[in-house]
Amino acid sequence: MTARRLPTGGAWIDRSRPVSFSFDGVPLTGFAGDTVASALLANDVDVVGRSPIEGRPRGVFSAGIEEPNAFVEVSAPWFEPITAATTVDLVDGLVVESRPGVGRLSPEPHGTRPVAHRHRHVEVLVVGAGPAGTAAAIQAAAHAGRVLLVERRQLPGAPELADAGLLEPQIGTTALGLYDDGYVVLHQRGQLETIWHVRAERVILATGAYERPLAFPDNDRPGVMLASAARTYVEAFGVLPGERVVLFTTNHTGYEAASALVAAGAELVAIADTARGGSATDAARAGGTDVRSGWVVAGTSGEERVTAVNLLGPAGEQEVVEADLLLVAGGWDPALQLYRGIGGGLRYDEGIAAFVPDGTGPPWLDVVGAAAGDGLPACTPSWDVPGDDARKYVELQRDQTVADVAKAVARGLRSVEHVKRATYIGTTIDQGRTSGVLTAGITNRLLGWQPDAQGPSNARPPAFPVPFAALAGLDGGPLLDPIRTTPIHPWHVTAGAVFEDVGQWKRPRFYPRSGETMDEAVARECRALRTAAGVLDASTLGKIEVVGPDAGGFLDRMYTNRMSSLPVGTIRYGLMLGLDGMVVDDGVAMRLADDRFLVTTTTGGAAMVLDRFEEWLQTEWPGMRVYCTSVTEQWAVVAVGGPLARDLLAAAGTDLDLTNEAFPFMTLRRGSVAGAPAHVCRVSFTGELSFEVHVPATFGRHVWDAIVAAGTPLGLAPYGTEAMHVLRAEKGFVIVGQDTDGTATPDDLGMGWIVNTGKGDFIGKRSLVRPDTVRPDRKQLVGLLPHEPGLVLPEGTQLVAGTDLAPPVPMLGHVTSSYASAALGRSFALAMVRRGRDLRGSTLVAVVDGRAVPVDVTDPVFVDPEGERRDG
């Protein structure tokens, strides 16, 4: 036995709380406060995994997030595909398995920990609760309001911290990234994971420093460990990682680590110190330690673990000493991943042979303590030693050696960024925390450059791997995106509606009766509307109230036709174009009063249209006296249509005169429907006699229920969006966004009649006379009747001229809407076809699954072209 739990000590563990876990199927125990790495060492597990390319045994190398070696998969009680064993807190029932430097995803759904996201605003955020961070937090709290101190591990026992007036410090917390204006994202681990979104006026980074390894042959063998990590295992976890210790150091902190191990009972066999003497050397020699000044470690031996260390003297002397633990103290690199991720630069500090902040970075950011280089030991700039380059590992997780760096440099790469991409050094879970400066130092040396020529490759957030599940938080499953429902929604649910997503809205697509297929249900709903009556929940229509003396003139500029001439109480259909002359939305404008219009938009276009109105009013025409207010949600809309719609509305109870004479098509009347205050519009999207009943949303369900009750004896069927699509397509009414794709002008849609070029300017007007917009071979809206009347052409089907499908085949157009029609007793489609209007009466070919299906090109209006049905 070489590594073991000490009988006493371990500031971070709670020996009264044993914890059971398993590693590679073997049940083991540790203590609360252990990491997987400390518990494995306590159980004398040398080999935590194998290296990814060469399959070499690998053990615990560090004690923190810089770990490049000991990787595990966590499969219970939560799942993480790969993470460093030094960062996983031991919990009861934890199941971990060794991973060779690369993770794997299971196809099965995984358990995840509950995740909370919390937003916090503070005056000062201090990252890191070491001596510098603690002092900074205490000082900040004396001057600033809210000071938050976060720490990846545990807080120091400083009593003044408790009385400093800080916000409750958060431990187990790692900063993932700094973003503009002091926005910082933190990850807090635990049974409840938390993602903190902190907005800070000032951020103080006291992130400390990472000990740097050295590259020597076989430096990857289990039993080779960063000196400071070994000290942490002794002092924080009460674990002695080895009995016979050799230290390879460039600075005095290695001596301190070795002393801590000796104090815990280890034997210090020898010290190889790259420096030639010094006070630490003298003190160690005085204590009887064998210190070799100017010596280096030139290799290790052993199978699964270090059993001997090869020492190399300045004059080439060689000596082998038996040892089971080799401590490496190559110097200290300030932990600047967060600082560099927000644009902070580096400069080389010769005294400590390390890269420190150069004073750049955002003005709200300070770096203090060891992270700024303060207090780091003087150190000889050593990166690697003589020996076989191919066995001197620079990047343990990627099995990359000094030879690999040399190969990259030999190919002409000079920037560490290029070397990184050629070797994958630093593309690791630890983001090159142990390999970055080493690689820069070796690259500089190979190029004959000075150590300050270039520092480590850059860092980007997240500075520490974070599970996607944690970033998603609650925003998964049914909470992935807000779900919008209408006031009538509960009725649809009870009626067994099948819903479709329209933007964030849930809209009933159809209402299947028992045993009905979708096609059967849609056909029944369509038949009901054309022969009796149908009712649709149209509440999702976008609605905007446009108010002010210039409202009419404003709408004249937004739509292609004239709205200012509408008499009060009448309605006009309008098309809205982009600056390029292409149709972007449609709807109707109702004049409620001289200075007041209600315009409707498509369900999906509501926000876009309001934004467009506001943009033009605010940026181009601020002098227009017009205000726009969204009232989409103010009004529930119940659309009643069909030959019996008039009787039905009367039966539901209304004080309105519903006759054609008193209430003609494209007018609106205010009155009551089923006792509710309403405005009722004579508009039709199906070609049938229709009334759109707008009532305040809180009355929506009541009015719907009343209309359904009154209509059921008359054969009323509620219909969904699918039947609505069929019914409107039978009339050749387009849906913006389905039949159009942002490249259709009004004329392309056969709606040139709606463009009023005599009324003055409107958005898109000038583009309508561009040569490309008026060329005769544009795609135009037509109807199609397939020769196979039972075949519903897939939407998107390409249309060509002949049956010879050997490429190249000129494409003439495509199907935009396609349905089976109950009214026609056959399938039909709408399509955009080049010179389509000229092709009416001819036959084209639709290509369906490679098969040529002849289709007749027709006018797009299939039902009631004379419009005789709309007045009932």
Instruction: State yes or no: residue 837 binds another protein (CB under 8 A).
Output: no
Residue 820 Cβ, how far from another protein at the closest point, in Å? 32
Instruction: State yes or no: residue 630 binds another protein (CB under 8 A).
Output: yes
Residue 611 Cβ, how far from another protein at the closest point, in Å? 13
Six-digit token string for 270: 């020898």
Q: What totals of helices (H) and strands (E) does the chain contain, helices first?
A: 19, 48
Instruction: State yes or no: residue 170 binds another protein (CB under 8 A).
Output: no
In sequence order, what are the beta bridge partners of 796?
none
Segment near another protein (CB under 8 A); pick from 354-362, 652-660, 668-676, 849-857: 668-676
Q: Per-residue string for binding with another protein, 186-215, x by CB under 8 A?
A: -----xx----x-x----------------
Instruction: State yes or no: residue 390 binds another protein (CB under 8 A).
Output: no
With CB under 8 A as the contact rule, the residue among 50, 110, 702, 826 that binds another protein is 702
Residues 6 or more apart whose Cβ sits within 8 Å of residue 774: 747, 768
End-to-end CA distance of the chain, in Å? 96
Q: Whose structure tokens read 């498509």?
A: 602
Separation CA 782–CA 837 (nearest Å): 7
Instruction: State yes or no: residue 701 binds another protein (CB under 8 A).
Output: yes
**Residue 145 or 867: which CB sits closer to another protein?**
145
**Residue 282 or 615: which CB sits closer to another protein?**
615
Count of residues in contact with another protein, rule CB under 8 A: 52
**Residue 322 or 475: which CB sits closer to another protein?**
475
Task: Give the torsion sign (CA, 708, 712, 713, 715).
Answer: positive
**Residue 145 or 287: which CB sits closer to another protein?**
145
Segment near another protein (CB under 8 A); pick from 3-11, 100-108, 355-363, 470-478: 470-478
**Residue 62 or 486: which CB sits closer to another protein?**
486
371 and 354 Cβ atoms separated by less than 8 Å: no
**Residue 506 or 759: which CB sits closer to another protein?**
506
**Residue 287 or 549: which CB sits closer to another protein?**
549
CB-side neighbour CA atoms (13 Å) of 124 = 24
Residue 667 Cβ, how far from another protein at the closest point, in Å? 22
With CB under 8 A as the contact rule, the residue among 18, 55, 111, 145 that binds another protein is 145
Separation CA 844–CA 812 (nearest Å): 9
Residue 682 Cβ, how far from another protein at the closest point, in Å? 23
Task: Give the torsion sign (CA, 118, 121, 127, 130).
Answer: negative
What backbone phi and psi angles, to 5 degrees, belong to 533?
-160, 150
- Please give, one letter per residue, the 3-state secondary structure of 278-329: CHHHHHHHHCCCCEEECCEEEEEECCCCCCEEEEECCCCCEEEEECCEEEEE
Instruction: State yes or no: residue 627 binds another protein (CB under 8 A).
Output: yes
**Residue 263 or 493: which CB sits closer to another protein?**
493
840 and 859 Cβ atoms separated by less than 8 Å: yes
Residue 516 Cβ, how far from another protein at the closest point, in Å? 28
List the one residue out of 580, 590, 529, 633 whose CA is nearest residue 748.
Answer: 580
Q: Per-residue string for binding with another protein, 109-128, x by CB under 8 A?
A: -----xxxxxxxx-------
Instruction: State yes or no: residue 767 binds another protein (CB under 8 A).
Output: no
682 and 666 Cβ atoms separated by less than 8 Å: yes
389 and 227 Cβ atoms separated by less than 8 Å: no
What backbone phi and psi angles, to 5 degrees, belong to 231?
-65, -40
Site for another protein in 476-495 (CB under 8 A): 478-479, 481-487
Please give the DSSP secondary-structure letter assigned to residue 670. E
Name the H helices within 374-514.
402-410, 416-423, 436-446, 468-472, 489-494
Instruction: State yes or no: residue 475 binds another protein (CB under 8 A).
Output: yes
Q: Per-residue string for binding with another protein, 522-561, x by CB under 8 A?
A: ------------------x----x-xxx------------
Separation CA 114–CA 810 (nearest Å): 56
Residue 677 Cβ, how far from another protein at the closest point, in Å? 8
Q: Per-residue string for binding with another protein, 424-463, x by CB under 8 A?
A: ----------------------------------------
Site for another protein in 633-662 (CB under 8 A): 633-635
Instruction: State yes or no: residue 704 binds another protein (CB under 8 A).
Output: no
447 and 453 Cβ atoms separated by less than 8 Å: yes
Q: Characterize 517-527 residue by residue with b for buried, 16 or more Cβ atoms within 10 angstroms of its Cβ, and e for exposed.
A: eeeebbbbbbb
Chain contacts with another protein (rule: CB under 8 A): 114-121, 145-146, 191-192, 197, 199, 474-475, 478-479, 481-487, 504-505, 540, 545, 547-549, 625, 627, 629-635, 674-677, 696-702
